[in-house]
Structure 1
Amino acid sequence: MLALAARFSSAPHLNQKPNVDKGEEFAESAKDMYYYLRAAQKNTLEFLQVCTLLAFQLYLHGPTTEGWMVIGTCTRLANELGLHAIDFESESDVFSPVSLEWSKKEGLRRVWWSVWELDTFSAAVACRPHTIDRMTMQVKLPVSDKNWFADMLVESSIINHDPVHSWHTLRDCPNQDERAWFLLINYLLLTAHDLGQQQNLQRKEIQEIEKVISCYILILPPQFNLLEDLNPSSFRPNRVSNFNWIIVTNIMLQGCRVFAKLLHDDASTPRFWSSSRNLLTPLAAESQFGAPEARYHIYTDQIIRIIRMWPPEFIPYASPFIGCLVLGPAALHLRVAMGHRQAAGDRSDAASLEEELLKLALSHIAMYCRFGALLLDFANSITTAKQLE
């Protein structure tokens, strides 16, 4: 926790260090404690919470084997503690998690969903199968921080395992928290990603995921509609996280639409699978995706519009992992943005305004996170390579 928080600290003894390095001393101590406790086989909820924070800290520096292994520890321990079935209805064991009071149970749900997010991201960015079997998940989506802190019970829902029905999990549900909607679109993105890894994908499955995404869009609450006159100041100072969940949900929605479009166009050969040891290679591996960029202009235009409405001071407080979808699958958004200079007849090496917007968004992530800097370097290498063609 200290390592994660130190990046934003204004403490005098940390001011001589770049923001991204302020928590390194704490992070090294955390790793030492992790390996000690793992050797001692301290399989407790507290150890799982520590592992989850450490995994996030490690991934702030970019996907690494060490981070991936810690995430593996998180998923195994979460399953061992039964968190994957926290809301499984059973009357056989009064000491099961089902019998816990609501606020404690809600805390366990939050641990589970944090682990699930890490597992989902690490698998998607590496184009590898994820560890958690979503078909066994019986965990309700988390409610708002405000309700949880106030111990105010709000009924939530478990995501339907059937992709055809998962989209309406939160329809008419008392829980309308922004993060719950984000997790739901994350689940749909995972579904599209899994379809892309199938060897014998049926056209019907592709059409279904396209319709599922469209249905999800139509039931999103009004606050997710990013109107031009939307006033972010209404979210200051206590609801910055709510606004960020709205923004990243919209970004992830466009990523989901791109994945579905890639599937529809049969653009990937092989699909989204890669055996590369470089975990970021698949993100921009143009050879994997032969789709003409022109077909994806509509999605890139939406990403540009979303970034325009994202207050710069809010960006560092969002999940840095969303930077991958700012670039887009196979860096499609960046490639489309690079095409704008040609469309404008600009034969110089000057970047288009669309390119600049994408890179500036990444630069704000990079202020407090090495992963953002890695993505920014990645984007610059792509544009440089394109200029040398």
Structure 2
Amino acid sequence: MSFSELTYPSEGVTSQQEATAQGHQCPTKVDRILGIALEHLEVTRELGNALLSSYFSNMTAFSLFSREILDNRLAHTKSILDAEALLASIFSFAARFVATPSAETSDHTGSGTPAASHFATIASQRLRRAYTESEDLTPSLTLIQAYILLSYFELTESVRPRSWRILGECVRISYEIRLHAIDEDFDPDSDISAIGIDLEQWTMREEYRRAWWAIWEMDVFASTLRRLPTAIDWTQNFTLLPVPDSDWFSRSYQKSCFLASDPALRWKDLTKSGNRSAKAWFILINSLMRNTQVLVFSARALALEPSYAEQLSVDLTLVSNALSCTTVSLPDELVYSGEILNFENDPTDGTQLQADADKYSIHLMTQLSHVMINNYSVRARAPWANNTSKESSHSHGLHSRASTAEWTKYLNAAEEIVKIVRNSNPRHYRHVNPFLVNTLWFAAAAQCSCRVFGPTSLTRQHRLAGSNLDLLQLTIDRFISFWGSTEKLKAKLARLERGLATLMQPRDKEHGDASRSTQSDMILQDVNAPSMLDTTGLDLLTANWDPVLGSEEDVYDENILHSFAGNFPFGLDDLIAFANA
């Protein structure tokens, strides 16, 4: 024990990586454990095998294990309760792909497949029991994997308080077994080769790395939507980025790297390592999106503080440069170039569906980052942010051209999202991470903004906005219908567009913008949403509304506009000031 450990008032947590992952599974033992667990879950062996097959055929969001690695984990599990929790959480995903029509409206049927929610409930119950019974014992990786898949199920439905707290537990438990420091003994500057690597140890550690990065990804997703700090401390992250599945499953060593704190170093480190993993590159781009979101939607940025503008501009430029370098450095097989994505496995190649999902995810996250980077510039040039009526004709012309340029970049990113949706299999929503539906919402909100506030000089964008919005709304509806999300994203879009048109209308008429005023009138007629005032004439800006859970009532209040401002290039203060101008 070191001096620092001896002089610290509490015992530290040591990494307890289970040696079970190093050995090879015993088929008889796997069969016995699986049989007992399925019996306790009241699932037949036939249905259990179908659900497991469904999971590995359709799970593209996270690669926590292969079937061989899962069997190995089950064979060496020390708790049947942990095994039941993991299987139930796996089934909560897989059931959507094998569910019978009768299971769509019932948690359990006598002859059909139970609904996904049925297995999620069982997984939650088993996890509670296992966590209670373990008391002060270090949780197993099996238990954490079950927590990951349950958190995934809950977040898919909504980033509401329940799913937020379950994810928080998942983060805390992962810290207990030091998933954040799996490779703290690794020297990234060492010239290590496969010859000096213990492949069994490396393979085992990769399973832990996959668990950690799945938690990291969910933490970024939930924290971004709720505009709250992440639970994971990025400065204390000593776990290497994941390598390609093909290398992991075949025990072929591939060097990797850490996710650097400095955005400018991330693409350099990953390129230097030679790691071509789609997940590693997605994580890198996802991290840049999060960096951008924190900058653009900070209180000072939303308030458009002049004293903060220069610093923010520099910071955004640094992130933008890092994003550009990252996209240029992407391995060719991960670059989307406008091709059709079929989301179907070729009979001779069982990895095509995953490859299409990877391209789709990386492209959407890249464009979302661009949308956010250009967000501030568009917001800063909003009609209410500059009193252009007092400007000279020359300066007004310069302002208009700059505004058009910023809008063009902003909308180009949104149109890239529309393009890949248009070029994907109509049923692609079944085969990508459902978290990405929120990226489609950002793109749809951009189309709304173009229709209501975009420069009239953007003729092409205005003509396409309505059609693009239709495609995005339809795709969002399909995502929500299949994945069972409780988010009313389409309703929010309708309320958003009407609310913005309502705010714009009096200003347009006051300033004599007849074409814009007519456009606002048309939007107000087209969008089926309530007025800013209720039947009694009371201002609904003060009504109660939960920005995360939403409301059955279509009302406009501070919270809903705050919620929209977080996903839209105009802040709440801007909107209210503009409405009262």
Q: What TM-score do the two structures reach when normalised by structure 2?
A: 0.55
Equivalent residue number for residue 375 of structure 2: 262
Matched residue SS, 2:184: coil
Is the 1:294–1:336 Cα contact (8 Å) retained in structure 2?
Answer: no
Is the 1:316–1:367 Cα contact (8 Å) retained in structure 2?
Answer: no
Matched residue SS, 2:488: helix
Is the 2:199–2:251 Cα contact (8 Å) retained in structure 1?
Answer: no
User: CA 1:133/1:100 → structure 2, altered by over 3 Å: closer, same or farther?
Assistant: farther
Is the 1:338–1:352 Cα contact (8 Å) retained in structure 2?
Answer: no
AA partner of residue 85 (structure 1) = A
- Shift, 1:131, TM fit: 0.8
Equivalent residue number for residue 94 of structure 2: 5
User: CA 1:241/1:231 → structure 2, altered by over 3 Å: closer, same or farther?
Assistant: closer
Q: Distance in 1 between matches of 2:488 and 2:129?
A: 30
- Percent of pairs identical after alignment? 22
Is the 1:62–1:370 Cα contact (8 Å) retained in structure 2?
Answer: no
- Shift, 1:228, TM fit: 3.7
- Shift, 1:359, TM fit: 1.4
User: CA 1:332/1:108 → structure 2, altered by over 3 Å: closer, same or farther?
Assistant: same
Aligned ranges 1:162-181 → 2 under 5 Å:
162-181=262-281
AA partner of residue 310 (structure 1) = S
User: CA 1:364/1:241 → structure 2, altered by over 3 Å: closer, same or farther?
Assistant: farther
Q: Distance in 2 between matches of 1:345 and 1:198?
A: 30
User: CA offsets, 1:90-135, max 9 Å, x none?
Assistant: 79xxxxxx99711110000000001001111110000111111111
Matched, 1:35 2:171: no
Q: Distance in 1 between matches of 2:381 and 2:147?
A: 35
Q: Distance in 1 between matches of 2:470 and 2:270?
A: 36
Equivalent residue number for residue 156 of structure 2: 60
AA partner of residue 286 (structure 2) = N
User: CA 1:6/1:223 → structure 2, altered by over 3 Å: closer, same or farther?
Assistant: same
- Shift, 1:330, TM fit: 9.2
AA partner of residue 2 (structure 1) = F
- Shift, 1:33, TM fit: 2.1
User: CA offsets, 1:269-296, max 9 Å, x none?
Assistant: 9xxxxxxxxxxxxxxxxxxxx9986662
Matched, 1:222 2:338: no
In structure 1, runs of 5+ residues without a counterpart are 92-97, 270-289
Is the 1:323–1:375 Cα contact (8 Å) retained in structure 2?
Answer: no
Equivalent residue number for residue 253 of structure 1: 366
The counterpart of 2:166, out of the listed 46, 70, 87, is 70
Equivalent residue number for residue 275 of structure 1: none
Equivalent residue number for residue 353 of structure 2: 240
User: CA 1:219/1:36 → structure 2, altered by over 3 Å: closer, same or farther?
Assistant: same
Is the 1:109–1:142 Cα contact (8 Å) retained in structure 2?
Answer: yes
Is the 1:155–1:175 Cα contact (8 Å) retained in structure 2?
Answer: yes
AA partner of residue 113 (structure 1) = W
Equivalent residue number for residue 429 of structure 2: 315
Q: CA RMSD in A?
A: 3.6
User: CA 1:258/1:83 → structure 2, altered by over 3 Å: closer, same or farther?
Assistant: same
Q: Distance in 1 between matches of 2:338 and 2:218?
A: 33
- Shift, 1:38, TM fit: 3.3
Q: Distance in 2 between matches of 1:178 and 1:130?
A: 23
- Shift, 1:225, TM fit: 3.5
Q: Distance in 2 between matches of 1:305 and 1:324?
A: 16
The counterpart of 2:449, out of the listed 335, 348, 354, is 335
Q: Distance in 2 between matches of 1:68 and 1:32?
A: 17
User: CA 1:264/1:31 → structure 2, altered by over 3 Å: closer, same or farther?
Assistant: same
Aligned ranges 1:1-389 → 2 under 5 Å:
1-11=90-100, 14=103, 22-40=115-133, 41=135, 43-89=139-185, 101-196=201-296, 197=298, 199=300, 201-229=311-339, 232=342, 236=346, 237-264=350-377, 267=380, 296-328=410-442, 331-336=445-450, 352-371=466-485, 374-383=488-497, 385=499, 386=501, 387-388=523-524
Larger radius of gyration: 2
Q: Distance in 2 between matches of 1:185 and 1:261?
A: 16
- Shift, 1:373, TM fit: 5.9
Q: Distance in 2 between matches of 1:334 and 1:157?
A: 40
Higher relative contact order (CA 8 A, sep 6+): 1
User: CA 1:11/1:233 → structure 2, altered by over 3 Å: closer, same or farther?
Assistant: closer
User: CA offsets, 1:219-243, max 9 Å, x none?
Assistant: 1222344334456478545321221
Greater shift after overlay, 104-113 or 292-301? Answer: 292-301
- Shift, 1:21, TM fit: 8.4
- Shift, 1:12, TM fit: 7.5
Q: What TM-score do the two structures reach when normalised by structure 1?
A: 0.80
AA partner of residue 205 (structure 1) = D
AA partner of residue 442 (structure 2) = G
Q: Distance in 1 between matches of 2:263 and 2:465?
A: 40
User: CA 1:134/1:99 → structure 2, altered by over 3 Å: closer, same or farther?
Assistant: farther
Is the 2:158–2:487 Cα contact (8 Å) retained in structure 1?
Answer: no
Is the 2:96–2:115 Cα contact (8 Å) retained in structure 1?
Answer: yes
Is the 2:145–2:211 Cα contact (8 Å) retained in structure 1?
Answer: yes
Is the 1:20–1:368 Cα contact (8 Å) retained in structure 2?
Answer: no
Q: Distance in 2 between matches of 1:346 and 1:175?
A: 42
- Shift, 1:339, TM fit: 7.5
In structure 2, runs of 5+ residues without a counterpart are 1-89, 188-197, 301-307, 383-402, 502-522, 526-581
- Shift, 1:329, TM fit: 7.5
AA partner of residue 148 (structure 1) = W
Greater shift after overlay, 2-11 or 70-79? Answer: 2-11
AA partner of residue 184 (structure 2) = F
AA partner of residue 68 (structure 1) = W
User: CA offsets, 1:292-318, max 9 Å, x none?
Assistant: 866622112211112122222332111
Q: Distance in 1 between matches of 2:293 and 2:408?
A: 22
AA partner of residue 322 (structure 1) = L
Matched residue SS, 1:130: coil
- Shift, 1:204, TM fit: 2.4
Q: Distance in 2 between matches of 1:88 and 1:375?
A: 42
- When the two structures are aligned, how many residues end up with a matched partner? 360
Q: Distance in 2 between matches of 1:12 and 1:301?
A: 36
Is the 2:451–2:462 Cα contact (8 Å) retained in structure 1?
Answer: no
Equivalent residue number for residue 277 of structure 1: none
